[in-house]
Amino acid sequence: MQTDLNGIHALVTGGGTGIGLAVAQMLADQGCKVTITGRRAEVLDQVSGNGLFGMTMDVRDEASVNDMIENAISQRGPVQICVPNAGIAEGRALHKTDTAFWRDMMATNLDGAFLTIRACLPGMRDTDWGRVIAISSIAGLRGLPGASAYAASKHGLIGMIRSLSEEYMGQPYTFNALCPGYVDTPIVTRNQDAIAARTGMSSDAARQVMVDANRHKRLLDVSEVAAAALWLVGPGSQSINGQSIQISGGQTV
Ligand code: NDP
């Protein structure tokens, strides 16, 4: 049983910003060596250091994921904490959803998590402790009007996590999904602009739509998602497996 995270290699996709960065910094604070990935080198460079190691990687690109994770493993050892977090979120009515939009959503949010977990698992299985914490969404558990593609990708992610927890039952690895409501990150800022442009409402009113969607009527702070991830890597977490943990200010499903 792992009680000390010091020196453990963790990998967080999309770890240069938002939720991923908060989780990565929390893990580094615990003594982990944390590989953070994303497409923008300049974003990773800004936050690298103090236990964070930036690596550019596009989660939609199989060769990029395989090469970069192999490289990270050769430098820092097997990945024992894998956090598939990289994602995009954009609403679009289904009748206006073209195939390219649908494919990009799946390629990033679902294929990206599949490729990431697959590249990390062989090394993790050579160790006696591992954690996979996928960042899904409350939209992975319930329908979200005007966001069928996003919700489908996040539901799919939960299906993969639940299945992996069954596949590895009884072994020292757990697979869980965190399902946040709206969190104050660049995704929400971009959504705010998109909603305002689409509906003609003010930017503040567009933000309020997302605030009101959370049961406690405020945006979450990234630290609240990181706190749940800390619990899942901490002592006593070995029996929490295959769960989809809502972090949304109240029950929504
Ligand atoms: P951010 O936009 O800050 O984070 C998304 C991260 O994913 C960025 O660092 C981005 O880096 C990376 N990314 C996007 N596409 C790719 C790609 N093709 N390859 C590699 N990296 C990629 O927003 P959040 O922190 O909010 O989002 C993180 C996760 O949390 C997402 O999966 C999102 O769906 C989920 N989530 C967010 C909620 C919210 O309200 N904010 C609510 C529920 C879930 P780069 O652009 O440099 O590649």
**DSSP letters spanning 2-68:** ----TT-EEEEETTTSHHHHHHHHHHHHTT-EEEEEES-HHHHHHH-BTTEEEEE--TT-HHHHHHH
Per CATH, the homologous superfamily of domain 9-181+221-247 is NAD(P)-binding Rossmann-like Domain (3.40.50.720)
Distance between CA atoms of residues 246 and 253, nearest Å: 9
Among protein residues, the one whose CA lies closest to atom 21 of ligand 1: 38
CA 86–ligand 1 middle distance (angstroms): 4
Is the beta carbon of 180 within 6 A of some atom in ligand 1? yes
Domain with CATH 3.40.50.720 in the chain: 9-181+221-247
Per-residue model confidence (pLDDT) at position 198: 85
Percent of the chain with pLDDT over 90: 94
Per-residue model confidence (pLDDT) at position 1: 57
Is the beta carbon of 140 within 6 A of some atom in ligand 1? no
Residue 182 among the catalytic residues: no
CA 35–ligand 1 middle distance (angstroms): 16
Q: Which is the closest atom of ligand 1 to the Cα of 220?
A: 40
Give me the residue label for tokens 């602009």. Answer: 193
How do residues 37-68 score in pLDDT, each as one tens digit?
Answer: 999 999 999 999 999 999 999 999 999 999 99
Q: What is the DSSP letter of 142?
A: S
Per-residue model confidence (pLDDT) at position 82: 98
Percent of the chain with pLDDT over 70: 99
Is the beta carbon of 84 within 6 A of some atom in ligand 1? no
Per-residue model confidence (pLDDT) at position 199: 87
How do residues 80-118 score in pLDDT, each as one tens digit?
Answer: 999 999 999 999 999 999 999 999 999 999 999 999 999
Q: Give yes or no for residue 139 having a pLDDT over 60.
A: yes
Among protein residues, the one whose CA lies closest to atom 23 of ligand 1: 187
Q: Give yes or no for residue 196 having a pLDDT over 70.
A: yes
Per-residue model confidence (pLDDT) at position 2: 65
CA 21–ligand 1 middle distance (angstroms): 10
How do residues 69-83 score in pLDDT, each as one tens digit?
Answer: 999 999 999 999 999
- Of residues 76 and 2, more confidently modeled: 76
Give me the mean pLDDT over the 131-137 stretch. 98
Is the beta carbon of 162 within 6 A of some atom in ligand 1? no
Among protein residues, the one whose CA lies closest to atom 8 of ligand 1: 14
The confidence band for 253, taking pLDDT boundaries of 50, 70 and 90, is confident
CA 73–ligand 1 middle distance (angstroms): 23
Per-residue model confidence (pLDDT) at position 89: 96
Is the beta carbon of 150 within 6 A of some atom in ligand 1? no
